[in-house]
Structure 1
Amino acid sequence: MIRKLTFLVMLVLSHHLLLAQSSQMIKGRIIDNTGSPLVGATVFLTVEKKAVATDVKGDFSIASNDPNNRLRITFVGYKTQEVGLDAFKNTGTVALQNDGNNLDEMIIVGYGTAAKKDLTGAVSTLSGDLITERKTTRVTQALQGAIPGVQVTRNAGTPGASGTILIRGITTLGVNDPLVIIDGVPGSIDNLNPDNVESISVLKDAASSAIYGSRAAAGVILIATKRAKDGQSELTYSVDFGLQKPITMPKFVDAPTYMALFNELKVNDGATPIYDAATIANYAALSAASPDLYPNTDWQDGYFKKDAFLQRHDLNFTVGTRNVKTKVIAGYINQGGLEPNRSFNRYSFRVNNDLRFNDKLSGNVDFSYYRAQSLSATTSDISLVRQLPAIYDDYYSDGRYAPGKDGANPIANNRTGGRNNVRNNQFSARMQLNYEPLSGLKFSGIFAPQIGFLNSSVFSQIVSYTSLQDPSVVVNRFNNTNSLTQSQAYNQALNAQFLANYNITVADDHSFTALLGYESNDFRDENSSAFRDGYVLPDYQVIDAGAKLNATNSGNASESALRSFFGRINYSYKGKYLLQANARYDGSSRFAPSNRWGFFPSLSAGWVVSEESIFKDKLPFSFLKIRGSWGRNGNQQIGNYSYQSLINLNTILFYNSAGQVVPATGGNQLNYAVKDITWETKQDFDIGLDMAFFGNRLSATADYFNKTTFDILLNLPIPLNTGLLATPQNGGKMLNKGWELQVGWSDKIGSDWKYSFSANVSDYTNKIVDLKGTSTLGSLALLERQPYNVWYGYRNLGYFRDADDVAASAKLTGAEKPGDVKYADLDGDGKITADKDQVPLGNSLPRYLFGGQGNVKYKNFDLGFSFQGIGKQRSRLSGFMIQPFDSNFGNVNTYYLDNYWTPSRPDAKYPRLSYNNKNINYDQSSDFWFFNGAYLRIKDITLGYTFEPTLLKRVGIKNARLFVSATDVFTLSHYPQGWDPEGTQGNNPLVVTYYSGLSVTF
């Protein structure tokens, strides 16, 4: 018995001894090739599949329970390295080699990830760090100039404003917005806090985007949000404060100059001057003595603020263990506007959880909440602000608002005419469960609901203008009654996915990956609106407080659904020969059952030339890949019920059986239903090169693409005697072709200097091939065999020089005089007529889009910048930039001074002063007002300092960085002052923002 007990004790002790011997704590340091520590590098155990991150000194420690483990070390921008435990024990340090073009980097692609070196399609990426450094309020704005072939256009500097995104140009006459996927689920890029973004991938060709089928005709933007890593435990708080100022503002003439010019205009038009010469000459003194009778108002100065404040706060909490990883990011932004009473507030909250239940079962549970509030006046009168001349008063001397021109005082209307309050709340969740029954095989199920509530409250308030002499006498009003319009919108999206992934390597040389999936998307929208007026208590702004006499209400709802089956197969032989095939089968409720399903395939291939043994070490490339692709995408961006007859229900009057007129509900058909409408289809060819030189420090990517969109939906005419509206029908065709080039360089000088630069340029041309004989004319026209939105109008021949020139030339109205614009009589009939003398005048679309960024680091200092622009664009001046005295009273831009036609200035830029002949000089669409719209803009410059970690550690801080920054700080262009290359005349001016901020990590 004693022997048995002794044996048992020894067995147990030996077991614990073996466990102690197999379980060991691995400690070490990860550095770069200059010896500097790499902070945040991932150290991964290959057998146990757990990881930790290095600290501020590059140190790490991780427990290994299997002697077969190997350490795999990864860090963005460096080559991945793998070492055995025994080899690591000998040194305790691993030096990663810089990889300026990190070919092993895993990037997000459709329904998965892929190594950059294995891509066969046109995919561009952008890191979350670059987005954060750009200090934008929207992710959209951070994309400007950052990715070749991606055009982002801002139209206004309104707080919270977003932008329009185009990927490789215009592909259809309808919606050209790309599909946005956030963590694998369709979402809105505008509902995302830029600080949440880990990386962005842009799928530009059909080979990359065909896996998304009918929604990917305009390209796909894939966004991965930040997630926790194993071993992380930190809290980061970031705060930015900014001051916004207008980039450019137009300048207008003062009151006496305006009156003198107006007199000259009257004389030119054969009328009598209306302003006394003595008054003009003594206006300054008259105005000083009696400002109410002789105003000299600067309407822009009174309307806009000189600057506006901006602040942003982000709180980032991360904790990660082997089984539970949680990332929480909360953000707040408050952005004031240059326009009075305008502001934007946004709250965002996101929680990403990664869960590991066992070696085979894992999951994700993510939640996000977004709340935005936009406050503004009920009207934005920027166009009127710039139209009103200085001779109209804004305020009386006693502080009352003056009526401006006939009650049109935009300053008073903006400040006291009511408020518009828009609140947008968005909730989303994503739940994913993964099961790996075998090595290389994984099943995933995803369910992602999204719910949105949009509420708008517009309260319009009476603005009364009283007499200068008697404040009790009302002379004008803006809004004749107090009124309230309340609107509500509810939207719901349900996404469900079932995915099966399998990867296997055969004989070490043949690698296969396969994906099969099913996805369903269901959408529902509901809208309602109510109106009342007659509010006697303006502070009580609820519907029930208004009068019922003129009350109205309305509402509607719509639903749509999409069902999809898809798959992908990848094959790689020795990492040299790459093949990929994608297919998607989509069914959309927006089409009739007989045309509901569409099939969208793609094929692509790549050849890594630099891996061929005959070229090894013989080419100047450290990496060279040739790739090509073909594929098709669909487009279902039409109304939800386009193939069905729509019935309009309304109250109509009937005679009842007694002969009395009574109201009843009736309906009538609105549209001519076309049952056989189907998908627009885009076919895409792409050829590309991926190159790297000098040990991957220099990288370059070049692409050529050719896209054809056919079966474009057109509003083709139907017989007028039907009395119905036309429904879109398939029939159009459009071509797009172009190229892209991106070049980057990343290197170090010693151990103190690090730098990187990248630049990109792209171009495309567009042509409408078929419109089924229809056309849309105007200053921008849709014509067959012409680019989309081609400029259209008359060709100008300069000015009429003198009376003889007028008499000998073809005329538009017969009232032409010397100094008016002369147009070409193209058909030679002696008359200028629109149907015979207006022709296409050239492409309106931008050419040679370019951009780039750079970063230089010296010890603890860093300097970053980015730029963006357009190399060529045929742009056209319009509005107040070309026409003085609009509506026979409008303002005059200072550009006109000494720059309009007179007999002594025959080569002036602007025609003679005239209102009677404005139809000849300003209102005609022609090439007279064209100019080169090319521009270069410095998007941002940032100087930062990161405090020494050893000093911060004493006070419990891991990391701290201080920075100053400026956005949109410099622009070079041919645009006249007051007209921004990205803005429009009637919108809020774009702003330059000066930031300072601090980020602290505990």
Structure 2
Amino acid sequence: MNFYTHPCLLRDNRRQLVKIFMIMKITIFLIFLFCLNASASTYAQNINLSEKNTSVQKVIAKIKRQSGFAFWYESKLLKHAGTVSVNLQNGTIQQALDIVLKDLGLVYTITDNTIVIDEKPASAATLPWAQTITGKVTDDKGQPLPGVNVSIKGTSKHTATDANGFYKVIAESNEVIVFTFVGFKKKEVVVNGQQEINVALEMDQSKLNDVVVVGYGSQKKVNLTGAVSTVSGSVLEDRPIPNVGRGLQGQLAGLNVTSSDGQPGRATTFNIRGFTSINGGSPLVLVDGVTTDINNINPDDVASATVLKDAAAAAVYGSRAAFGVILITTKSGSKQSNGKAKVSYSNNVAVHKITNLPDIVTDPATVIDFKNQAYSAYYGVNLYNTAAVDYAQQRSKNPSLPAVIVDPTNPNVYDYFGATNWFNELYKPNNISQTHNLSVSGGSDRITYYVSADYNRQNGVFRYNPDHYDRINMRAKLDFKVTEWMHIYTNTAYNRTVYNYPSLWTSDWTSGDLYHQIGRSNSLSVPRNPDGSYTSDGTYLGFLQGGGRGNTVTNQPQNTIGFTTSWFNNTWRVKGDYTFRSTNNYNQAYHVALPYETGPNQPISYAGHSDASAYSDDNSYQAVNLYTEYEKNFGKHYFKGMVGYNQELNKYNYFSAQNNDLISNQVGYLDVTTGATPSVHGNGYEWAVRGVFSRLNYSYDNKYLLEIDGRYDGSSRFPVNDHYGFFPSASAGWRVSEEPFFKGLRGVVDNLKLRASYGSLGNDQSLGNYDFISTLSSSKIGNILGGSQPTAVYPATLVSPALTWEKVYSKDAGIDITLFGKLNATFDWYQRDTKNMITKGFQLPAVLGATQPKENAADLRTQGWELNLTYTDQFLLAGKPFVFGVRANIWDAQTEITRYNNPNKFWFGGDYYVGQHVGDIMGLTTLGIFQTDAAAKAAPDQSKLQGYYAWNKAGELQYADLNHDGKIDYGDGTIGNSGDAHVIGNTTPRYNFGFGGNFSWNNFDFSIYFQGVGKQSFWPGTSGYYWSSFFSPWDNVYKNIVGNTWTPQNPNAFYPSLKGWRAGDAGQWIDLAVPQTRYTYSAAYIRLKNLTVGYSFNLPVFKKIGVDRLRLYFSGEDLWESDKLPQGFDPEGLSGSWGAGKVYPFQRGYSFGINAKF
């Protein structure tokens, strides 16, 4: 299905798109010139002014627009000139200026078309003078306020009120005194000859009136009825974070941010409010209203991040917002009163260190003794003979002895007695990253702009030829005021990333094979033999040193052009925009076969093979948005309505080629391969969405709030008859604090709001682009026919004709409260039902010869809650204001399967069943370790355990016979008859939390933030990082196991008796892979996510050279953690394609930086 409504707009014609962009930009430029020209040449004959208590600056601006004259003056002359009232009809320019400037001590001159405003020549009696100003600061009830910050505007002079609210400051007559205090509105007073200035500060309700970005618009925070959380971009500033996602981790209740490993450039993934669908599902991420990869934007560009969590808040975004929306708003330019641009530069250099690695035993004698115990336990003989044991003991005492010797019984074989820590060989102690940010912003009455660029370099952790990631971001935002009622804007961004890495002989080295092999390399081996050749274990280091390189380059230009119009005193607005983005990824890699030797007289062996490959993919994305909104007050009634249209089209094309056998290992291009069977692939797809949406807001007397949303949404991923669906939602709120009966509590409770919402959204991310079509698959077959490999086409897949939308229904109830103007709390309870999930349908007869088609055959329910707290205050410390804030959030969610086609509830094999909590671990209860053979034989029979092998003998694990049938098994593998298995844990992260604080005092600033998980289970499975030589005889030996395995002399050991290959999945020796309670760990943790300390210099010498602010800081990332996991496991790195923990290591960051503003 394609949604083409305009042949020029959405046609896949790059030249046409280039023309469109050029026309748009030329149009903006010509409009800009036209308006400037009109401004300079259209002179009004009459000046008409009707102003009451209007600032002088605004009146002069109106005179400028009506007259067409150019004005020249120093901004400070009018900045503090106060207000003026004037009523002039059909007057001259001279009359207007005489009235406005007569009492300000200012004069003007007119030369040609230019007016210059200056000060009157000062007499001795009117020269500025400095004197001591005293006074008292109170609240609006007359109570003194201690610790109020009192400063002279535009200078570094400041003081604070004492315990009784009194202050003293030296100021000149024309200067302005600024009074600020947490929880109160800022107040500015011109000295104007006064010697005593007393002020009363008003309580600040602005936080309630803060504007929050929502779908296709914004609302006052106090009027929100949906579940929305927001955080300022300041939480991302001056931190050594690789991307925005890492900076948001733990900052917002309900938002779970994870990263699979610590690889440079690794993207973060997001989840809002727990498990979404068995088909997966993630939130929609929009940057300035455009679908964008959040990992590719500059963290320093972010002004705010908002999370829309329920259907009511996300409804207008349609089918891709079923599981929430993350809205990122980037910084914009603003009008500068002095006409100067604001320039900001920041730089930080960070040193990174790996958080956690397994602790390896490297002493040769200990390692050989341990491996002999493990090997003989199964095979009945030692792995190493007596001569080897003796030499290992000698070398342990004298490390200067050779680590590699020729086998005394076989002169063609090397024997190894090294002490190699392969992790130390693979990884270097630290690596360095750096970030540079530069931004320029400013504007005038007509135009505002924001331009930024950043460069980020992340170096990898490998000791040899490390990987590195480079990112360049550029952004330019321009807003041009064409008329009083129309703005045109453009938002252009460019992102380029380059990831250069050592390639291994595996097709994809990041798959985890490297970490798997290094983890199971033998510490007795060494990287190189005495003749310099690589050993078998050393080949993996060899691949890093010279086994080939890979390089992935991504280029992504994007441009959004739009307009906003407003009529009738800004009550009716029309907005529209068009976005085009092109993404190109290009990868080139080559692999080299690496020679190694196993003995002095052995033929050279080769690890891997040589080949070269390349792939390129192109992704083009276009989006059109057009919407209008109208708002109006009718007495106590407030209405705001919006109707809009959205359309998006995405096209993707992919091409790859690969061939074996490089002519030269120094040139890794396809042209120099000689393989007889090159591989060439190509594919493509496209998808489109289209929808109309609406939102109606109503409030009565700012107390009773109602919002109704809806979207009629269409997706190309469904059959023709099911393209479209309508998804409504509604939310309501009651501001209890505005009721008359609440008046007596308003001094304590500033705001109390109850709210609730219910709604539905469709989800088109649960199936592929063409799952509704019966498709044929093809591939080359292995047999050669007629001198070539023929292509085989396989039978078409079955498709259900009833395939339709997966729908998500959400409920939310919440409360918002503000106490004493300082403490803000938000609590939400929610329920999300995902219905009609697309999965396997009912079992069909085997005679059909095909698998059952996918159907809308499953439901699940997620329930949870979240709490968010913030507190800000200040007090006097050593006579200076100490301003501080604390914040905390915690949230929890659980998911249960409520419908699934598994009537017998089979769980063995990993299938879902009704009543299952997603993430449940089914396993056995471990009673301990059998101490004697007699006790073991008297216990229930453990040899019947399905899929595993367990024995009844001393040193083996003993499991509980929960159903008392005299044997240990899983019954028939159903929940109704699960034998001795039961739920022993759950892998879902629960009680996710974050908390921290910040303060500023005497130019110092400090912030600290913790993040973690309160409850989560971890079963290591067959991970070699955990079981060590239980897994295989050549594995590394880890310190946590040595001396902690059962023997008759060590009956209280944590691990069972040694037996080689016990934890692996090869053959039948997999008894230690049985999920059971003894080795199921808590994965709960707390981590010091960030700590920042800074100092801002505020010296006159910096002001003289144009530096408004200079700040030096230290910032640390992931500095510390506490958990109960086995040594070597990072709580955020428990995945791994080759076993838990076998991932690119996570790292701590220690950075020093500078931030300068001009």
Residues in 1 aligned to 2:784 and 2:592: alpha-carbon distance in whole angstroms: 41
SS at match of 1:215: helix
Residues in 1 aligned to 2:780 and 2:381: alpha-carbon distance in whole angstroms: 55
Q: Tell me the equivalent position of 2:1132.
A: 982
**For 2:808, which of 672, 677, 682 is the aligned residue?**
682
Residues in 2 aligned to 1:25 and 1:92: alpha-carbon distance in whole angstroms: 22
Q: Tell me the equivalent position of 2:69.
A: none
**For 1:543, which of 649, 662, 670 is the aligned residue?**
670
Paired residues of 2:929 and 2:954 also in contact (CA < 8 A): yes
Residues in 1 aligned to 2:151 and 2:232: alpha-carbon distance in whole angstroms: 22
Which string of whole-angstrom CA distances, capped at 9 and with x for unpartnered residues, describes residues 389-429 of structure 1? Answer: 2111212345442222xxx6321122222112111111111
Q: Tell me the equivalent position of 1:45.
A: none
Amino acid at match of 1:862: D
**For 2:522, which of 385, 389, 392 is the aligned residue?**
389
SS at match of 2:676: strand
- After TM superposition, the structure 1 = structure 2 runs for residues 505-654 of structure 1, keeping only pairs within 5 Å, are 505-507=633-635, 509-547=636-674, 549-618=676-745, 620-637=748-765, 638-650=767-779
Residue 863, structure 1, aligned to residue 1006, structure 2: yes
Q: Tell me the equivalent position of 1:929.
A: 1079
Paired residues of 1:880 and 1:892 also in contact (CA < 8 A): no
- Report the Cα offset of residue 18 of structure 1: 2.6
Residue 806, structure 1, aligned to residue 936, structure 2: yes
Q: Tell me the equivalent position of 1:403.
A: 536
SS at match of 1:905: coil
Amino acid at match of 2:383: I
SS at match of 2:1052: coil
SS at match of 1:900: coil
SS at match of 2:404: coil
Paired residues of 1:364 and 1:431 also in contact (CA < 8 A): yes
Residue 234, structure 1, aligned to residue 234, structure 2: no
Distance change >3 Å, CA 724–CA 24, structure 1 → 2:
farther
Distance change >3 Å, CA 911–CA 96, structure 1 → 2:
farther
Residues in 1 aligned to 2:152 and 2:219: alpha-carbon distance in whole angstroms: 28
Amino acid at match of 2:773: Q
Paired residues of 2:370 and 2:1042 also in contact (CA < 8 A): no
Deviates most, 509-518 or 807-816:
807-816
Q: Tell me the equivalent position of 1:475.
A: 604
**For 2:955, which of 808, 816, 819 is the aligned residue?**
819
- Report the Cα offset of residue 479 of structure 1: 1.9
Which string of whole-angstrom CA distances, capped at 9 and with x for unpartnered residues, describes residues 791-827 of structure 1? Answer: 1233322222311222122212464321211223445
Residues in 1 aligned to 2:621 and 2:196: alpha-carbon distance in whole angstroms: 54
Which string of whole-angstrom CA distances, capped at 9 and with x for unpartnered residues, describes residues 597-637 of structure 1? Answer: 11111111111111112211325312111111111122111
- After TM superposition, the structure 1 = structure 2 runs for residues 317-332 of structure 1, keeping only pairs within 5 Å, are 317-332=440-455
Residues in 2 aligned to 1:59 and 1:714: alpha-carbon distance in whole angstroms: 77
Deviates most, 802-811 or 73-82:
73-82
Paired residues of 1:534 and 1:547 also in contact (CA < 8 A): yes
**For 2:1026, which of 879, 882, 891 is the aligned residue?**
882
Paired residues of 1:417 and 1:478 also in contact (CA < 8 A): no
Paired residues of 1:884 and 1:890 also in contact (CA < 8 A): yes
Deviates most, 150-159 or 103-112:
150-159
Amino acid at match of 2:1142: G
- Count of aligned residue pairs for this structure pair: 954
Residue 904, structure 1, aligned to residue 1046, structure 2: no
Q: Tell me the equivalent position of 1:998.
A: 1154
Q: Tell me the equivalent position of 1:452.
A: 583
Residues in 2 aligned to 1:84 and 1:937: alpha-carbon distance in whole angstroms: 46
Residues in 2 aligned to 1:574 and 1:587: alpha-carbon distance in whole angstroms: 38
Amino acid at match of 1:17: Q
Distance change >3 Å, CA 644–CA 14, structure 1 → 2:
closer
- Report the Cα offset of residue 174 of structure 1: 1.5
- After TM superposition, the structure 1 = structure 2 runs for residues 177-256 of structure 1, keeping only pairs within 5 Å, are 177-231=282-336, 233-254=341-362, 255-256=364-365
Which string of whole-angstrom CA distances, capped at 9 and with x for unpartnered residues, describes residues 698-733 of structure 1? Answer: 111111111111111112344444444554311211
SS at match of 1:266: helix
TM-score scaled to structure 1, two decimals? 0.89
Which string of whole-angstrom CA distances, capped at 9 and with x for unpartnered residues, describes residues 17-65 of structure 1? Answer: 13553589999xxx9953247899xxxxxxxxxxxxxxxx999999xxx
Residues in 1 aligned to 2:712 and 2:360: alpha-carbon distance in whole angstroms: 59
Question: What percentage of residue pairs aligned between the two structures are identical?
Answer: 28
Q: Tell me the equivalent position of 1:421.
A: 551
Deviates most, 14-23 or 173-182:
14-23
TM-score scaled to structure 2, two decimals? 0.78
Q: Tell me the equivalent position of 1:773.
A: 902
Q: Tell me the equivalent position of 1:443.
A: 574
- Report the Cα offset of residue 199 of structure 1: 0.2
Residues in 2 aligned to 1:124 and 1:25: alpha-carbon distance in whole angstroms: 49
- Report the Cα offset of residue 99 of structure 1: 4.9
**For 2:990, which of 847, 864, 886 is the aligned residue?**
847
Distance change >3 Å, CA 237–CA 82, structure 1 → 2:
closer
Residue 291, structure 1, aligned to residue 409, structure 2: no
Deviates most, 204-213 or 771-780:
771-780
Distance change >3 Å, CA 12–CA 636, structure 1 → 2:
closer
- Report the Cα offset of residue 864 of structure 1: 0.7
SS at match of 1:296: coil
Q: Tell me the equivalent position of 1:278.
A: 390
Residues in 2 aligned to 1:60 and 1:495: alpha-carbon distance in whole angstroms: 53
**For 1:356, which of 476, 481, 486 is the aligned residue?**
481
Which string of whole-angstrom CA distances, capped at 9 and with x for unpartnered residues, describes residues 824-861 of structure 1? Answer: 34454443334343343332212211102211101211
Residue 833, structure 1, aligned to residue 975, structure 2: no
Paired residues of 2:149 and 2:180 also in contact (CA < 8 A): no
Residue 430, structure 1, aligned to residue 560, structure 2: yes
Residue 968, structure 1, aligned to residue 1118, structure 2: yes
Distance change >3 Å, CA 58–CA 891, structure 1 → 2:
farther
Residues in 2 aligned to 1:580 and 1:120: alpha-carbon distance in whole angstroms: 7
Distance change >3 Å, CA 890–CA 360, structure 1 → 2:
same
Paired residues of 1:458 and 1:484 also in contact (CA < 8 A): yes
Distance change >3 Å, CA 723–CA 367, structure 1 → 2:
farther
Which string of whole-angstrom CA distances, capped at 9 and with x for unpartnered residues, describes residues 90-138 of structure 1? Answer: 9999997675981111111010111111111111111111111443111
Paired residues of 1:570 and 1:578 also in contact (CA < 8 A): yes
SS at match of 1:671: coil
User: RMSD of the alignment, in Å?
Assistant: 3.4
- After TM superposition, the structure 1 = structure 2 runs for residues 96-115 of structure 1, keeping only pairs within 5 Å, are 99=204, 102-115=207-220
Residues in 2 aligned to 1:61 and 1:997: alpha-carbon distance in whole angstroms: 34
Q: Tell me the equivalent position of 1:734.
A: 860
- Report the Cα offset of residue 778 of structure 1: 6.1
> Structure 1 or 2: larger strand share?
1
- Report the Cα offset of residue 928 of structure 1: 2.7
Residue 21, structure 1, aligned to residue 171, structure 2: no
Distance change >3 Å, CA 742–CA 535, structure 1 → 2:
same
Answer with 1 or 2: which has the greater Rg: 2
- After TM superposition, the structure 1 = structure 2 runs for residues 938-953 of structure 1, keeping only pairs within 5 Å, are 938-948=1088-1098, 950-953=1100-1103
